Amino acid sequence: MSAATSTGAAAGRAGARGWHRRRYLWGYLFISPWLIGFVVFTAGPFLASLLLSLTSWDVIGSISWTGLSNYERIFTRDPRFSKTLGNTAYYVLFHVPGVNVLALACALLLNQKLRGIALYRTLFYMPSVTSGVATAVLWIWIFNGQYGVVNSLLRIVGVQGPNWLFDLHWSMPALIIMSLWGMGNAMLIYLAGLQNVPQHLYEAAMVDGAGVWQRFVNVTLPLLTPTIFYNLVIGIIASFQVFTAAFVMTGGGPADSTLFYVLYLYRVAFENLRMGYAAALAWILFVIIIAFTILQFVLARRWVYYEGASPRGTV
């Protein structure tokens, strides 16, 4: 190879490298608004909260380093930690299955080819876009012990209803019942999943003599497992962060029976101004949510079926 050829090749490689650098530079320039926003408003506060959880800070005074003392106090000397975590777990245990069962049932009804079905779908979905505070105020009236709709209907059949939101044993069930009102998002996702089930599978099942229940169990459910999995993951993450309903309707009472974890975290941070302690509580919640999410992904390999994959499915 001549010197001129070698020089030309080297110049070509240098030019290509320069072109690639300019290309990457322009790419980063175009995504810089998102990158700056992510660093300033997400990644930065995320890391700052971890450092803050190792300190004692009341917003007004100076920050003092305390190491792991906040975590030690949470696990050994804070009775409200276990109380609020238990309340939240109780809510998650009944809210997530309840919403998913109701949402799937409504999606099956709204998947019919009927006249005006679009209107019904809109009506069923509308409650989920209502403001959380507005929904809470509405249900305060519904659960009113004297003239609420629920107790008025119970009196018709001769049953004296409880004072729902102020009863130690009924306040949590009342919030769980109210939470079913917002099942529209899950219903919409189930409806999309149902419409993606191939119709020829139903036709083949009918040829084999399968009834409605057999088609649902052997065709619909297996092909709907990815949708169920998605709704479970999102539902559990959201349920562990429940806040608005208890904050507006009960304030965590009576006797802390509806004091959810995030509501307690809010009180510690913004009423007691113990920001370091609140940050430690937030990180514990983050670890709990991550653990449940990972567990669901691991277990999904045993029951989630993806069309075209092996029967065990993959995640």
313, part of any domain: no
Provide CB contacts within 8 A for 124, sequence distance 6+.
Answer: 106, 110, 184, 187
Say if residue 311's pLDDT is above 50. no
Q: Are 13 and 76 in a shared domain? A: no
- Dump pLDDT digits (tens) for 273-283: 999 999 999 99
Q: Are 85 and 15 in a shared domain? A: no
Q: Are 34 and 78 in a shared domain? A: no
- Dump pLDDT digits (tens) for 50-85: 999 999 998 888 889 999 999 999 999 999 999 999
Q: Are 137 and 44 in a shared domain? A: no
CB 239 within 8 A of CB 260: no
> Rounded to two decimals, what is the model's pTM?
0.86
Domain with 32, as residue range(s), is 3-52
Q: Are 23 and 156 in a shared domain? A: no
Radius of gyration of the chain (CA): 27
Q: Are 161 and 272 in a shared domain? A: yes
Q: Are 258 and 290 in a shared domain? A: yes
Q: Are 78 and 134 in a shared domain? A: yes
CB 53 within 8 A of CB 279: yes
Structurally, the chain folds into a number of domains equal to 2
Strand partners, 56: 64
Residues of the chain above pLDDT 70, percent: 91
Strand partners, 117: none
215, part of any domain: yes
Confidence grade of residue 245 (pLDDT, cut at 50, 70, 90): very high
Q: Are 293 and 201 in a shared domain? A: yes
Confidence grade of residue 191 (pLDDT, cut at 50, 70, 90): very high
Strand partners, 253: none
CB 29 within 8 A of CB 262: no
pLDDT of residue 107: 95
- DSSP for residue 254: S
225, part of any domain: yes
**Angstrom distance (rounded) from CA 285 to CA 93:** 16
Say if residue 2's pLDDT is above 80. no
64, part of any domain: no
Confidence grade of residue 13 (pLDDT, cut at 50, 70, 90): low
First to last CA, the chain: 53
State both tokens at 56.
């004692």
CB 183 within 8 A of CB 177: no
Q: Are 39 and 82 in a shared domain? A: no
296, part of any domain: yes
Rounded to 10 deg, the angle between the 275-303 and 69-77 helix axes is 70
- Dump pLDDT digits (tens) for 111-162: 988 888 999 999 999 988 888 899 999 999 999 988 899 999 999 998 888 9
Q: Are 83 and 112 in a shared domain? A: yes
Residue 140: CATH number of its domain? 1.10.3720.10
210, part of any domain: yes
pLDDT of residue 146: 87
State both tokens at 217.
């169990």
235, part of any domain: yes
CB 55 within 8 A of CB 64: yes
- Return the half-sphere exposure (C-beta side, CA atoms, 13 A cut-off) of residue 223: 18
36, part of any domain: yes
CB 120 within 8 A of CB 113: no
Q: Are 294 and 208 in a shared domain? A: yes
**Angstrom distance (rounded) from CA 201 to CA 207:** 10
